[in-house]
Structure 1
Amino acid sequence: MNKLNQTRKDVISILLTVMTGVLIHTGMYQTAHADPASYVDPRIGNIAPFLVPTYPTYQQPNQMLRMYPIRKDYTFDQVQYFPLQVMWHRGKGILKMRVARGPVTAASWNRKMAYDHDLEVVHPWRFETYLIEDDITLGFAPGKKTAIYRYNFPRATQSHILIEGTGKMTAKLVEPHAVNITERITKKSRNPELAPVTMSVWCYAEVTDGQGRPAQGMNIIIDKNTLRIECGKKAPKTVLLKYAISYVSQQQARKNFDAELSHQNFEELSVSGKAAWDGELNKIRVKGGTDAQKRSFYTALYRTHERMIDITEDGQYYSGYDQSIHKTTRPFYVDDWVWDTYRAQHPLRTILAPQQAQDMLHSYVEMYKQSGWMPTFPQVFRNHACMNSYHSSVLFLDAYRKGLTDFDIEAAYEGVRKNVTQGSWIPWRQGSKATALDQRMKDLGFMPGLHPGEEETEPLVDGFERRQSVAISLGRSFDTWVLSEWAKELGKKEDYVRFAAISDQYKRLWSEKHKMFMPKDDKGEWIDINPKSAGGKGYRDYYDENNGWTYAWHVPHAIDGLIELLGGKEQARKRLDQLFREPLGMPRMAFHVNGANSTGMVGQFSMGNEPSFHIPYLYNYCGAPWRTQQRTRFLLDVWFKDNLFGIPGDEDGGGMSAWVVFTAMGFYPVTAGEPVYTLTSPVFTEVAIDVPGGQFKVLAPASSKVNKYIQKAELNGKPLNMPFITHDQIMAGGILTLDLGDKPNRSWGID
């Protein structure tokens, strides 16, 4: 009877906690919305429209230690395991932890744990779940290099905490309640020219009671690649697994533990995590809009802080770029996917955290010095050869033109120049030297494509990723534009002239017939394809994850040139309208056979993939800003909801979320590398951004669902008649006032 009463009390306690969260989530608990963090819901987007969902990631902002439950997907009511650490974005985690009741058998190590979705407490700084078949409540609180799992076990029963290695794990008992763990992780590359790499991860862990004291009635049993913590009937009801991770050494893992957890238990660590998130999320405060819009907005802002992550430990870090330990006086960051993040996530950071942006660029330069190549997808183990082109170049130009120069400029330029001139442009082959196919591309001024059915001649080309001939050609034009512009800034005249000429070569693939960029073969002849559907999976023979209708706009460095190719502003505007209205041309099921990455469709426009992000803003360049205001509001309203389906495609660790943050505030960086933002209609009546000059505010007092059209604008009390503002104007502080109405003002912003 006592056991039953205690169980009822536990369930009631959980329900009270959950109901409080539900009240907050539904807006019924209005007083809880005093701080932006209360709007964050990591579950938004946890069910994907097609490919990869968002993961409810628990971590402190841009910090190394992170966790999410590993399960097949959100709709399943079982968790496979809880990792002690997730080393890279969307990874499956290492050091797999499970719980079990009763005797441990071989099946216990593969047993899935059932839970109730409605009994979860989900915040970036705190996670709790009720394992419904085990009658165990499990909690998690992340630190920077540390974390705490909390277990509430049923009284007078035997329970176990099981930890299994992901790679090769060894463990050693150092105290009756403390253990050292080493995990050896091997990571392969898609690039066949790059050998697998192996690195060590060290962990120091203590098992304590709820107050952090060495737990009685516990026994730690070590076996091959496993560790079992036996919680006997006399063990405390509440057990903590407190641990620290290090990529440097076992001794450093203990130092990380002492630095963070010697004075903190579960509740204290959760509170400090909340404070860390408050510090970031409070940099932007909004008024007006709906609670749903605020949940989408602040959850998006949270996701922009998932990466990059600081792996510095006590003035040193492990680098996977030369497999060495380095001393440092600055943070060292890894884990970035530049193909996704250069468009909006990095530009957003130049506003919200300019010093952090410079520290990240410093990290890129260090990785180049250590490896010989400027990374494009830097992971903790090394650069991940992924996607196409060398877009890390634009991170440096964008920062440099915004006055952010606290990194080795000459080394950075040397690195991005080497990528462009000596590296292979074949997709997913970064880190390889240029091939004969690369030389042919340079001779022609475009990557030659293959006719349908034609056999591949270059062994280095990936059988799935293919040549992506048009996407590569446009990416090379953009990257050489970046290099030419930076060369001009640095007074390197010969490089400026050389690379500026290459940056104009996008025109060689312009098809006047199709009004878009189309593939040519090795002889310079057009390859006759249907740009809606050709190219195999993800259109990768010619494009990449998006079809020709999307890539028709993929020259953000040459918008005026593109408008000229289209026949002027009026024709460009009509072509934009057609993009949003053009039918799929086939049943949706057939469209997604090749277009699995093309989601969030509006006509042929794909909101769910990065190459489309700038397209709705191009109306501002075509004399029709009101269309940008209409399109962006529609896209936010339709595709970014505050629910499980609230992300229209692969979110990519902040890449897509940064688009949401910018667009909801009312401005966006169409061309990374240009310190200029173009305007749209904010969803909030007031946005206040902390900047070095004080605050930059966007005021739109009439903003509502129907009042989305800019009638007039003022910047610091003076009329603003164009839909553009500069980075310097934002960072100096000031007020952008937008008078919004329910009908378009077709004359505003057209000059």
Structure 2
Amino acid sequence: MRSIRLGLLFLSTALLLTTLCSPFTAYGSPLTDNDYTRWVNPFIGTGGHGHTFPGATTPFGMVQLSPDTRIDNWDGSSGYHYSDDVIYGFSHTHLSGTGIPDYCDILVMPTIGEPPNPKSEKPVDQYRSKFSHENEKAEPGYYAVKLDDKDIYAEMTATPRVGLHRYTFPESEEAVISIDLRWRDEVLDSHLKINGSNRIEGYRRSRSWAKNQVVYFAGEFSKDFETSETEVDTVKGKRSFKGKSIVSRFKFKTEAGEKVILKVALSPVSIEGARKNLEAELDHWDFEKVRSDAKAAWNKELSKIEVSGGTDAEMTNFYTSLYHTMIAPNIYQDVDGTYRGMDGVIRRITPLDGEVGGRGDRSEFKAQSSEKRSRKTREEIPRIYKDWKDQDVRYRVTKNSSKGTQNSKPKTQNRAPRSDAHYTVFSLWDTFRATHPLYTIIDEQRTVEFINTFIRIYEQGGKLPVWELAGNETDTMIGYNAVSVIADAMAKGIEGFDYEKAYEAAKHSSELDIEGLDSFRRRGYISMEDEQESVSRTLEYAYNSYCLFRIAELTVSRKIGKLARKQKTPMINSGRLLLNDPIYKEAKVHLYRAQYYKNLFDKSTGFMRPKQNGNWISPFAPNEVTFHFTEANSWQYTFFVPHDVTGLIELYGGIEQFAKKLDGLFEADPGLIGRDQPDITGLIGQYAHGNEPSHHIAYLYNYAGQPWKAQKYARRIMDEFYKPTPDGLIGNEDCGQMSAWYVLSALGFYPVNPGDPVYSIGTPIFKEARINLESGRSFAIKKKGNGIYVKSLTLNGLPKKKPEISHRNITHGKELIFEMSEEPVTNWFTISQRSRLHEQTMPAVPVISGKRVFDEETSIAISNPDGFVIYYTTDGSEPEMGVNKYVKPFKIDTTTTVKATAYAARDRFSHTAESTLHKMPNNWDVKLHAEYSRQYTGGGPKGLIDGLRGTTNFASGEWQGYWGRDFEAVIDLKKPTEINQMGGSFLQVARSWIWMPTKLEFHSSLDGKTFTKVAEIDIDFPEREMTHTIKEYRKEFDAINARYVRVKATNFGTIPDWHPGAGFQAYIFVDEIFIK
């Protein structure tokens, strides 16, 4: 960090001179040698909760060679945290900005002599070394640090598939480099083989976030080692070792200042694949050349967007953000095109141009030495290694295109790419929002490759990726947002993938009976008892349905166009021929489902609100963080209707009321209640920039007729939540999403609704910006005047009256000019943005109000916010139009199932609402010794004796939860009763901190004051059992006479060290007490 700052200070004079001759005329310009990497600070996000890493990697490369300073915990997800002062070693794979730890494979650590901490209980602690940020340096493609304990200087750089280490040792007879395959994750299997006196190879298969990750490696030292020692738990040998705990130490004799170099190639396929990757990408020992090539590759990628006219801090924020968007996804195939599929089968990419390996073969890191390759090497390595730039379709297109003038016609628009590649690390719940839309602008080729990867994942794994990692589906987060990436690419005219196959995959994901999707289709929303995070899932599935509609619509449109060209007939005639196309018919189903968000909008509160048993959940607080929402609360998720903002505005009664609701969000008290959620950071009122659900909200003011507020809050977010410091990110970087938000917002626009090829206007930071497109064109953005508010906007000299630009405006190489003001301009845009579904056809599901459990009788009221006519039944049958119209509330006195449907017309009606209301099976009372959690009430005290049973979904509403305390309840049977059995029903979801009790005690009393123990159960349920498990514990005994019964369950206590929640207290969850 400090070395970067010093470098910038020394450059200040040069920068001043550069501005005089640069076409960008303000200070803070890129250097004339186009060294954009000077503005990248890899330490940004390594502190706080950013979860980034500072090590060496290449754009979208397989290798991320970086220091590891933490063994585990949330803020150690990337392996490194800026607040640490010890390094355990340098591993070859890292995740950027995730909220769950994984990777950190193949740990390497240099030292001198015996381990510096030989008495440490943890083996990894034996090799750790102190370090100081004073002696640490990071730049794109390079990392260096001094290891203080043994005075060793460690440097590393990388090619896409090879990590290159350089260690400068003091004079020693026993310099050591260790290779540790035990590090961090649970090792399922590993192997290490020593070949000769300077080569190693092997693999590691491990389980963490990805349940079955395998990485193969092949390494080579620059000099022969003197001796080697290997510790292994099982199969031992002199040169080959296999087991779950392998560490090898290689000893060298070194002179003072001698450099020992180690290169380690990775492969997801095989050891042979790792060898090929090593030979193809790094056949020499020129460390500085590899570092230079990595830097050149980063400059090539970063040059896709040129900006000037910002402060040094803004320039650093911008290019570091752009850098972060290009770390993942990662290439996941060998140089010969082979890759590991989702089913574990090894396959080979068949590129469209017929060359083996596709663009994955076209290593951007030839890193060739000056010596010529041997004849054998030239024969084995495909000819595409002659010059990767000439072979890469994007560079070939640029060379053959026009010179990129503003008015030249792009010859390659919507072209089919001529290569393909396979990738991993798709954090799609995060990146569909801004990262992938950014790629559609600056990297169409990879966008195509990503989507082709999605299709292969569907074909091999049975569904589109949700959160894919190393060939594993983690099923982390919600929605099936790969459809957003596909729809957005289609809407922007990007080709090169099979549209019909993409639709098939997207439709398949929508029809699965998982994660509440079956309830979404059946009810028109997800109820609390169906699935956790029911509100968030409903809203995201509605958006996903819109994306599926767009994919269907665009697929059919493309078929019509092809048919028209083939038959040489007008489009309208070809269109008639496709009216019976099944995709055309299905599109309307998806469009209808896209409106299901309405079924959770509570007009009385103005919020998206969870439902249970057909009714609104109560009590309800919009600032409460609960399991009804995904890492958020109702304030933050209420505005997630990006595909139908105009429809959402209508639910509020118009743009004025909607604008007031937005004001309420940003001006609300920032206090949160409910469960702890570390992701909710970066608060402005209840807006939370530290997590993705809020990211589009500031731009909704453009739809509410108040664009100056979008500008105000977008600029405030940029200024307050992005800093050029280690803790400069306000939340998890999330594989590029946090940074992509800044990149696009700093340019002056943002994609509110991916799938719709338009961008919402914000406020630009830089005086000038230029987006260099793959077609050879460029899109220019200029800012005139001071201030953050837009006074006027022109596109190619024509005034814009609506606060949006289209994707085509960008790809056709237009010029966008902002005229700025220091004061809000309220009369600039005369037309508001609109985002509306094609048809507004769906009445909302009625709400059925009444006590879910009642003693004698309860009153039932049925309502519909649209005021449509409601028909209902009380016998379990389906309502029919014209039969049993609801007029006013009615009473029931027995357990009853009420069903209700709202009708706008005979062929236009809502989903059926259903509510079962139960009469209490007894007249007992319950008194609790301790208060249950507000989020897990289980129906209150009487919920323990109402006969309603919970499912394995702990957030279903039937479970009563107690955190960090024992459970104790006294049941009053109202009269002396003969009892011979007592028991209780409990839940274990260890992953969510819920464990079985360790002991149950049962007491009886006649007066409610003096209790006698009548039974006890010692519970020995496996604490490591991670399956969601319901267990009933009952104890029979000789009959006794009692009026009062006391049941006590002893809490599991402190969460053990092996668990991610170690040190915190456990929950007890109970849903029923049995008395017989």
What range describes the TM-score normalised by the shorter chain of this pair? Answer: 0.7 to 0.9
1:169 Cα shift?
2.9
Q: Which secondary structure does the structure 2 equivalent of 1:122 belong to? A: strand
1:138/1:149 contact within 8 Å kept: yes
Indicate the larger mover: 22-31 or 255-264: 22-31
User: Paired residue for 2:14?
Assistant: 31
Mapped pair 1:739 → 2:838? no
Letter paired with 1:446: Y
Mapped pair 1:513 → 2:513? no
Letter paired with 1:494: K
1:514 Cα shift?
1.2
Distance in 2 separating the partners of 1:27 and 1:736: 35
Alignment partner for residue 501 of structure 1, among 592, 596, 603? 592
Q: Which secondary structure does the structure 2 equivalent of 1:389 belong to? A: coil
Change (3 A) 1:490 1:725: same
Alignment partner for residue 635 of structure 1, among 717, 736, 740? 717
User: Paired residue for 1:205?
Assistant: 219
Letter paired with 1:392: A
Alignment partner for residue 542 of structure 2, among 474, 477, 481? 477
User: Paired residue for 1:22?
Assistant: 5
Alignment partner for residue 168 of structure 2, among 149, 152, 173? 152
Distance in 2 separating the partners of 1:533 and 1:324: 47
User: Paired residue for 1:388?
Assistant: 478
1:154-178 CA deviation, whole Å, 9 max, x = no partner?
Answer: 1135221111113333222222111
Letter paired with 2:46: N
Q: Which secondary structure does the structure 2 equivalent of 1:611 belong to? A: helix
Distance in 2 separating the partners of 1:575 and 1:646: 30
Indicate the larger mover: 525-534 or 724-733: 525-534
Distance in 2 separating the partners of 1:593 and 1:526: 20
Distance in 2 separating the partners of 1:30 and 1:307: 35
Give runs of aligned pairs for residues 671-750 of structure 1, distance below 5 A: 671-691=753-773, 692=775, 694-703=777-786, 707-750=787-830
1:482 Cα shift?
1.2
Distance in 2 separating the partners of 1:256 and 1:188: 26
Distance in 1 separating the partners of 2:518 and 2:165: 54
Letter paired with 1:319: R
Give runs of aligned pairs for residues 103-182 of structure 1, distance below 5 A: 103-104=114-115, 105=118, 107=120, 109-111=124-126, 112-166=128-182, 167=187, 168-182=189-203
Letter paired with 2:550: E
Indicate the larger mover: 85-94 or 284-293: 85-94
Alignment partner for residue 490 of structure 1, among 546, 555, 564? 555
Q: Which secondary structure does the structure 1 equivalent of 2:227 belong to? A: strand
Alignment partner for residue 377 of structure 1, among 464, 467, 479? 467
Q: Which secondary structure does the structure 2 equivalent of 1:700 belong to? A: strand
Letter paired with 1:750: T
1:64/1:144 contact within 8 Å kept: yes
Mapped pair 1:403 → 2:493? yes
1:24/1:30 contact within 8 Å kept: no
Mapped pair 1:76 → 2:84? yes
Letter paired with 2:218: Y
Count, aligned residues:
682
User: Paired residue for 1:304?
Assistant: 325
Change (3 A) 1:664 1:688: same
Letter paired with 2:626: Y
1:346 Cα shift?
0.2
Letter paired with 1:85: T
User: Paired residue for 2:106?
Assistant: 95
Change (3 A) 1:301 1:402: same
Q: Which secondary structure does the structure 1 equivalent of 2:441 belong to? A: helix
Alignment partner for residue 356 of structure 1, among 430, 446, 450? 446
Q: Which secondary structure does the structure 1 equivalent of 2:522 belong to? A: helix
Distance in 2 separating the partners of 1:181 and 1:440: 47
1:459-479 CA deviation, whole Å, 9 max, x = no partner?
Answer: xx6xxxxx1111111111111
Letter paired with 2:494: L
User: Paired residue for 1:338?
Assistant: 428
Q: Which secondary structure does the structure 1 equivalent of 2:468 belong to? A: coil
Distance in 2 separating the partners of 1:82 and 1:278: 25
1:80 Cα shift?
2.2
1:98/1:109 contact within 8 Å kept: no
Distance in 1 separating the partners of 2:636 and 2:10: 38
Q: Which has the larger radius of gyration?
A: 2
User: Paired residue for 2:626?
Assistant: 539
1:533/1:594 contact within 8 Å kept: no
Give runs of aligned pairs for residues 161-240 of structure 1, distance below 5 A: 161-166=177-182, 167=187, 168-187=189-208, 196-197=211-212, 199=214, 201-208=215-222, 215=223, 218-224=226-232, 225-233=246-254, 237-240=258-261
Indicate the larger mover: 176-185 or 35-44: 176-185
Distance in 2 separating the partners of 1:670 and 1:305: 21
User: Paired residue for 2:562?
Assistant: none
1:262 Cα shift?
0.9
1:185 Cα shift?
2.5
Q: Which secondary structure does the structure 2 equivalent of 1:378 belong to? A: strand
Distance in 2 separating the partners of 1:412 and 1:264: 44
Identity of counterpart residues, as a percentage?
29
Distance in 2 separating the partners of 1:392 and 1:250: 32
1:254 Cα shift?
1.4
1:466-522 CA deviation, whole Å, 9 max, x = no partner?
Answer: x11111111111111111222222232221111111111111111111111101112
Distance in 2 separating the partners of 1:365 and 1:612: 29
Distance in 2 separating the partners of 1:19 and 1:483: 49
Where relative contact order (Cα < 8 A, 6+ residues apart) is larger, the structure is: 1
Indicate the larger mover: 731-740 or 373-382: 373-382
User: Paired residue for 1:557?
Assistant: 643
Indicate the larger mover: 257-266 or 632-641: 257-266
Indicate the larger mover: 659-668 or 324-333: 324-333
Q: Which runs of 5+ in 1 are unaligned?
A: 1-17, 190-195, 209-214, 427-437, 451-457, 462-466
Alignment partner for residue 750 of structure 2, among 647, 668, 674? 668
Change (3 A) 1:628 1:644: same
1:539 Cα shift?
2.1
Distance in 1 separating the partners of 2:747 and 2:821: 17
Q: Which secondary structure does the structure 2 equivalent of 1:228 belong to? A: strand
Change (3 A) 1:275 1:264: farther
1:205 Cα shift?
1.1
Indicate the larger mover: 161-170 or 556-565: 161-170
Higher percent of residues as strand: 2
Mapped pair 1:568 → 2:657? no
1:84 Cα shift?
3.0
1:342 Cα shift?
0.3
User: Paired residue for 1:268?
Assistant: 289
2:304/2:772 contact within 8 Å kept: yes
1:264 Cα shift?
4.6
Change (3 A) 1:721 1:24: farther
Indicate the larger mover: 66-75 or 390-399: 66-75
Q: Which secondary structure does the structure 1 equivalent of 2:109 belong to? A: strand
Indicate the larger mover: 346-355 or 486-495: 486-495
1:341-368 CA deviation, whole Å, 9 max, x = no partner?
Answer: 0000000001001011101101110111
Q: Which secondary structure does the structure 1 equivalent of 2:621 belong to? A: coil
Distance in 2 separating the partners of 1:722 and 1:30: 42
1:314-333 CA deviation, whole Å, 9 max, x = no partner?
Answer: 23233241211111122111
Q: Which secondary structure does the structure 2 equivalent of 1:557 belong to? A: helix
1:210-268 CA deviation, whole Å, 9 max, x = no partner?
Answer: xxxxx256333344212111022569711001121112222221111111211352111
Q: Which runs of 5+ in 2 are unaligned?
A: 16-29, 71-80, 233-245, 352-419, 557-582, 832-1076
Change (3 A) 1:130 1:736: same
User: Paired residue for 1:7?
Assistant: none
Distance in 1 separating the partners of 2:426 and 2:543: 20
Indicate the larger mover: 294-303 or 473-482: 473-482
